[in-house]
Structure 1
């Protein structure tokens, strides 16, 4: 897993979690959903990169 892709995945997960929790605290369902989507995208990126490393 390249360092830049690993960093992007971690940043997306952390940002998504922060947005999701902030949305939940404010009672905004749309913001909560956007945060969850961002977090899921970060997790998907991490899984993709780990899979690529398996072929190397």
Structure 2
């Protein structure tokens, strides 16, 4: 799971840099999702701890 979180961090950082270089004064939020709303809910509610891989 650490790998997934690290990849998500890198994608968000890259997106912010692109927006910064484009000259945006207001940075939009929620421009990244891990996959879809289901996976986001799993992270939000910390449900991965209950799954045996």
TM-score if structure 2 supplies the norm length?
Answer: 0.45
Asked which structure has the greater CA Rg, the reply is 2
Name the one with the larger helix percent.
1
